Amino acid sequence: MGWISPWKLNRLGMLNMNRRNVDYIARYNSRVSYPLVDNKLKTKLAVAEYDVRTPKLLQVVRQQHEISRFRQMAEDLKGFAIKPAKGSGGKGITVITGRDGDDYIKASGARVSVPYLERHLSNILAGLYSLAGTPDVAIVEDLVESIPELARYSFQGVPDIRIVVFQGYPVMAMLRLATTASDGKANLHQGAVGVGLNIANGHSLNAVQFNRPISLHPDTGLALENIAIDDWQEMLVMASRCYEATGLGYMGVDLVVDVDDGPLLLELNARPGLAIQMANGRGLLPRLRQIEALRKPHFTPEDRAAYAMETFTSKT
């Protein structure tokens, strides 16, 4: 592993951490909108008004004593996900995919008991996973079941689609596939595979794991070259709508495609990571600057998605 010269990175238009923080997040993301995305419960409510659907909410645990009710509620459930409302980077998310007697089966296949889940809930309430360690609430959501066309690429976890939306325009996208290394999570820094998606048509470009290019999924062994996402335009429009819902100029939109419900919003991220550039094999900066230079912005999500599909082909 060597080093790359900063001039070369600049030529590639690679957005870096400091510039992202100063020139994009600090400039385009208003502080008042942060709670909307940092709190998944608020996100759900905010985007619902804009016809963006999210996984069904089963229960909200706000107080320590409400944990006892979780046991009753979860009694008959096969699969669900427990999430800290203010968690970041997928921390504290526990996905249950099945039952084994009184115990539950995690997405990774590990058996966990009810006390384990109750302790997890109490940790969430105490703020262990929240951004500033502040007290939090836990939300229990319906389990998302990915469509098999995508699910077969992912090892255990649900594959999701990350779209970076800048001022309402989808500028870059990638498919994130869980691996054994990532413990069923779709976080790139934990070892998930990132597959760059062409904004123009939703077809796969390159794939990376741990920042290194790969061509086969390390666990499933499937080739990652010819993945295509259906309903691509609909998903871009959905991502674009989140701009109106939150007012955040620079954000990451995480979508999943559910077997029954179609595309759903999993969460929003006001500080989307930079690895998406590696998965796409190109930098974000040229696209961001192109949007910044637009004299007449488009007003509807549909127009913006169409503009993006027209403009950001794999060539640009």
Our finding on whether 78 is near other proteins (CB under 8 A) is no
Q: How far is the CB of 141 from other proteins (least distance, A)?
A: 20
* Phi and psi at residue 203, to the nearest 5°: -95, 150
Our finding on whether 111 is near other proteins (CB under 8 A) is no
Q: How far is the CB of 30 from other proteins (least distance, A)?
A: 9
Our finding on whether 25 is near other proteins (CB under 8 A) is no
Are the C-beta atoms of 93 and 87 separated by less than 8 Å? yes
Our finding on whether 249 is near other proteins (CB under 8 A) is yes
What is the layout of strands, in order, in the sheet containing 169-177?
A: 212-214, 204-209, 193-197, 169-177, 160-166, 250-258, 262-269
Residue 17 or 228: the one with the smaller Cβ distance to other proteins is 17
> Residue 237 is which amino acid?
V
Our finding on whether 14 is near other proteins (CB under 8 A) is yes
Contact window for other proteins (CB under 8 A) among 15-23, 33-41, 77-85, 98-106: 15-23
Q: How far is the CB of 55 from other proteins (least distance, A)?
A: 22
Our finding on whether 216 is near other proteins (CB under 8 A) is no
Residue 96 or 248: the one with the smaller Cβ distance to other proteins is 248
For 174-181, which contacts have Cβ atoms below 8 Å and span 24 or more sequence positions?
A: 174/276, 174/279, 174/280, 175/150, 175/204, 175/227, 175/229, 177/153, 177/217, 177/224, 178/154, 179/155, 179/209, 179/217, 179/218, 179/219, 180/155, 180/156, 180/218, 180/219, 181/209, 181/210, 181/218
| Other Cβ atoms within 10 Å of 112 Cβ, number | 17
Q: How far is the CB of 270 from other proteins (least distance, A)?
A: 15
Our finding on whether 190 is near other proteins (CB under 8 A) is yes
Which of 113, 180, 211, 313 contacts other proteins by CB under 8 A? 211
> Distance (Å, rounded) from C-alpha 117 to C-alpha 104?
9
Q: How many residues bind other proteins (CB under 8 A)?
A: 40
Instruction: Name the region of 210 (left: φ>0; alpha: ψ -120 to 50; beta: rest).
Output: left
Our finding on whether 72 is near other proteins (CB under 8 A) is no
Length of the chain: 316
* Phi and psi at residue 52, to the nearest 5°: -105, 120
Our finding on whether 71 is near other proteins (CB under 8 A) is no
Residue 12 or 306: the one with the smaller Cβ distance to other proteins is 12
Residue 39 or 280: the one with the smaller Cβ distance to other proteins is 280
Our finding on whether 208 is near other proteins (CB under 8 A) is yes
Q: How far is CA 293 from CA 288, 289, 296, 313, in A?
A: 9, 6, 9, 18
204-209 and 212-214: which strand pairing?
antiparallel
Residue 205 or 268: the one with the smaller Cβ distance to other proteins is 205
Our finding on whether 152 is near other proteins (CB under 8 A) is no
Contact window for other proteins (CB under 8 A) among 5-13, 99-107, 141-149, 231-239: 5-13
Q: Residue numbers of the site for other proteins (CB under 8 A)? A: 1-6, 8-9, 11-12, 14, 16-19, 22-23, 27-28, 64, 91, 115, 118-119, 122-123, 126-128, 190, 208, 211-213, 249, 277-278, 281-283
